[in-house]
Amino acid sequence: MNGKGLSWEDAQLFLAVVEHGSFSAAAKVLGLGQPTISRRINYIEELLHQQLFERGKYGAIPTETATKLLPAAQQMAKWAAEFDRQALGVGDAVSGTVRVAAAPGVAVEQLAPFAAKLKTLEPNIRLEVLSSIDHVDLTRGGADIAIRTKYPREPELVVVHKSVVQPVVVGSKSYVQKLKQPCKWSDLSWVSWASPYLDVSPRPMLEKIIDNFAPVFTSDDYLVQKAAVCSGLGAFITNRSNRFDTTELVEIDIGVTLPESEFYIVCAKSMQQVPRVRVVIERLIEMSIAD
């Protein structure tokens, strides 16, 4: 690349072509002439020694190289927007949307109630919760913050807080009244994860402890599992910090204390000092989310 790198203007132009599908549409959005767009894209391609777009009558189609560059360009756009907000002094009041990724149980039991408290304390911040078993890539801007059960190994990520929680077995009051406690593991009717999440905790542990483990009910959705347990169908494992009072769930004595689980509040190093992200992290820690 002859010692030269791409500028934000180059990335902005590249993004416009990708997002709008043609040189002419990108030119209109950026207020430039189409020849200028074409000339700048040619320059970038020469700099990279790679073709970025297939030109044709149907527009500009990104090549594999362009697809690989897209996340980095999108991240540059996020930072440029953040810089503009700060430079314009928007505020003394921190504002904007912060996306937090978490497993369904944490999202339902912890983050939803947290959002209500956050709205009172930080009215200009909007929380967006991404509830999924599947991994969300923070390094590519999939979310601003994640609550994870495993320590991240990506060098671009940083752990800002660690929590330890106590898992417990719970069931509805009507179901528990029929049990003789302490219970054996095999005495309980279990509600658990269905395919494709058969390897999601605590199902692997139950399969190891209980011979021929056969749940009475399975679902790929945490809320569906919880509804089944609340209706008296069986038992499942959740964290003691979760709010049983609103669901009439009670703990079941199985004669042992389950091993504690660890949770990590994680974000990309590049996002850690963004004001709105920093404020949400501080509030998460202050309110002991996942504790």
Q: 277 and 154 in one domain? A: yes
Residues 143, 279: one domain? yes
pLDDT one-digit tens code per residue, 115-172: 999 999 999 999 999 998 877 888 777 889 999 988 988 888 899 999 988 999 999 9
């190093």: which residue's tokens? 269
Assign residue 118 the CATH number of its domain.
Answer: 3.40.190.10
pTM of the predicted model over 0.75? no
Residues 148 and 181 in one domain: no
Query: pLDDT per residue over 237-274, tens digit each?
Result: 998 866 555 568 999 999 999 988 899 999 988 788 78
pLDDT digits (tens, 9 = 90+) for 187-204: 999 999 999 999 999 999
Residue 235 above 90 pLDDT?
yes
Is residue 237 domain-shared with residue 270, that is, in the same domain? Answer: no
CATH classification of the domain holding 253: 3.40.190.290
Mark whether 144 and 275 lie in a shared domain: yes
Contacts of 98 (CB under 8 A, 6+ apart): 125, 126, 127, 128, 144, 145, 276, 277, 280
CA 183, 186, 189, 195 dihedral sign is positive
- C-alpha to C-alpha distance for 46 and 51, rounded to whole angstroms: 8
Number of domains making up the chain: 3
| 19 and 150 belong to one structural domain | no
**Domain hosting residue 189, numbered range:** 167-258
Q: Residue 273, SS3?
A: coil
Last residue in a domain, options 34, 57, 87: 87
Report if residue 47 sits inside a domain. Answer: yes
State how far the Cα of 241 lies from the Cα of 89, in Å rounded to an integer: 39
Structural tokens at position 255? 């004669």
Task: Round to the nearest angstrom and report the end-to-end CA distance of the chain.
Answer: 49
| Cα separation, 78 vs 137, whole angstroms | 16
